[in-house]
Structure 1
């Protein structure tokens, strides 16, 4: 990994080619590079959209498979530092979120774990507005595999009511609910179904509020009637009655002041993958080999992808 600078083995490095920060996930070589990992990586590479985190490349160290992707501060930190966003800023970011989710769904991929911490925010600087990007392992979960009724699929405040029922649920409709929680958090600066008076570990009350859709938008906040209407159409317990992504994109609040058409962003102009699929598969095949131990020198000579400077 001599194309990056930083502390070897750290999870954030800087690209020497373009100066961008990258996130690096290290997976031990050998049996942990299993079918699930291979499927995750191949699917991630197939997603090319301005609002989805890009898989830059794979690399090998003597002991680990390194998965290199885009990196930026997450949206949680931005909301925490700002307290809350105004409607215009929230709408801009929400459009990008919905655009990325819509694209993933069109590729038959559901996220199932959307939350502020899984959304990166790249500073547009002088070139334009901030750019939101979706990341997270849940992005590889195919819609053809219905979600099991497990609360662990999503984090706390973002879980839709149907996840608590003893039946499978539609990942696309669950993603809509999580988009709504994200929008609410940006506008209000807190989560819709959590109360600050609750005990820190008392999740039971939150579950009860989620199932009964017990929330409110504070009256003293300057949140428009159109925005409140959209939120009310998202927070519906019955998945069949909940607004869809397509309907969100045609909602009056979503379309308001729609000068930059973020909701219809094209994949045209998205950067080409740095590695071909053949290269990806070759690296994955090599990564299945376990750490060679004392035979390192001989092994390095036989493995063209290894860069021993990152060990």
Structure 2
């Protein structure tokens, strides 16, 4: 059940941010668009009420995992801080809305257009996996667009790391994610599974949905069937999907998805193999080496200050009333210097020229 929009300004009297408008809400809390008084830039701020049951280990894990990621296709973490009523997470604002709205507004994307976005999704996932982060909730709604300017292809930004896990600390064992996108091994409640290969499956569902404007394992009759969800789960486990007749796809595109929709994760195509697939390679700059490109951002991420202990303190203080205005954002000067270096880097400029 979605949280109701706030009746009072959650940033009233805040020293740095001021509310511009309410954006959205979910079971976790709500999000507002805010202006940073120090820079004039826009940020999105997620607010989670400071109550037991709301502030959990999952919230702490979400912030910790998100805070270490620095990549053009991941929404940038800015800081977390406390107000009197809320734990707040400030992050980059993506003005173009989410991919679900973009896909439905266009009644599905042309294959070339969908490939353009899928290439970015795989770049982002490859980077996250190199950082030992499995997202576990890849879907259209959790993928944002940075802009909708006429004449410019928007860039995608992965957001929402609420179900993510750092596999350098522990292996995934809980069934999480969104029905319809979830891999068979997750639905079958295996005691351990590879979160990276589960992300590959979800990326395939997302690709199918982008191109076909429907989900591969759902049927129209499922909506009115009390056992509809059960039937969807069974189709996922058995890999029962169809190619829509009204949305013709190339043989290479179908080949890639057939290698993704494999029930046995050990036999499923990997992120590295996707990057070598002919359909995926089409249109990429010849000199783009994903390992080199993402290695650049892995190196930057590891250079960033380690805020893990400070973040844990803020999250845990969220359950103590009267504590507010604490924040964790890392070394601001270091971040400003790093962002400047990103823009000037020749690798970055070569890559962005592709867009």
Normalised by the length of structure 2, the TM-score is 0.72
Equivalent position to 1:217, from 243, 249, 259: 243
- 1:184 is matched with which residue? 208
After superposition, the C-alpha distances for 1:154-212 in whole angstroms (9 at most, x for unaligned) are 21111111123242221111110000000000000000000012234521111121112
What residue is the counterpart of 1:250 in the other structure?
276
- Give the aligned partner of residue 165 of structure 1: 188
SS of residue matched to 1:233: helix
How far the C-alpha of 1:59 sits from its partner, in A, is 2.6
Q: 2 CA distance for matches of 1:250 and 1:242?
A: 14
- Kindly state the Cα deviation for residue 277 of structure 1 after the two structures are TM-superposed: 3.0
RMSD: 3.4
Residue aligning to 1:174: 198
| Runs of 5+ consecutive residues of structure 1 not aligned to the other structure | 293-298, 307-311
Cα separation, partners in 2 of 1:34 and 1:206, compared to 1, 3 Å = closer
Q: How many residues align?
A: 295
Q: Decide which moves more: 187-196 or 62-71.
A: 62-71
Write the distance in 2 (CA, Å) between the matches of 1:98 and 1:277: 27
CA distance in 1, matches of 2:304, 2:40: 13
Q: Distance in 2 between matches of 1:88 and 1:210?
A: 26
Is 1:197 paired with 2:221?
A: yes
| Deviation of the 1:219 alpha carbon | 3.4
The match for 2:340 is none
Q: Which residue of 1 aligns with 2:320?
A: 290
1:146 equivalenced with 2:171 (yes/no): yes
Q: Contact (CA 8 Å) 1:98, 1:245: kept in 2 or not?
A: yes
The change in CA–CA distance for 1:209 and 1:32 in structure 2 (over 3 A counts) is: closer
Judge conservation of contact 1:109–1:140 (CA < 8 Å) in 2: yes
Q: CA deviation at 1:22?
A: 1.1
* Partners of 1:192 and 1:162 in 2: CA distance: 17
Q: 1:218 to 1:29 in 2, by over 3 A?
A: closer
Aligned to 1:155, what secondary structure does the other structure show? Answer: coil
Which residue does 1:45 correspond to in 2?
67
**1:203-255 per-position Cα deviation (integer Å, ceiling 9, x unaligned):** 11111211121112223423111111101110111111100000001100000
Higher RCO structure (Cα 8 Å, ≥6 apart): 1
**Deviation of residue 55 (structure 1)?**
1.1
Which of 129, 140, 146 pairs up with 1:122?
Answer: 146
TM-score (norm 1): 0.82
- Structure-2 change in CA distance of 1:219 and 1:22 (3 Å): same
**Which residue of 1 is the match for residue 297 of structure 2?**
267
| Contact 1:116 1:182 (C-alpha < 8 Å) held by counterparts | yes
- Residue equivalent to 2:335: none
1:281, distance to aligned residue in structure 2 (A): 4.1
For residues 211 and 58 of structure 2, the distance between their equivalents in structure 1, rounded to whole angstroms, comes to: 37
Q: Which runs of 5+ in 2 are unaligned?
A: 1-13, 23-28, 328-355
- Counterparts in 2 of 1:113 and 1:286: CA distance versus 1, 3 Å: closer
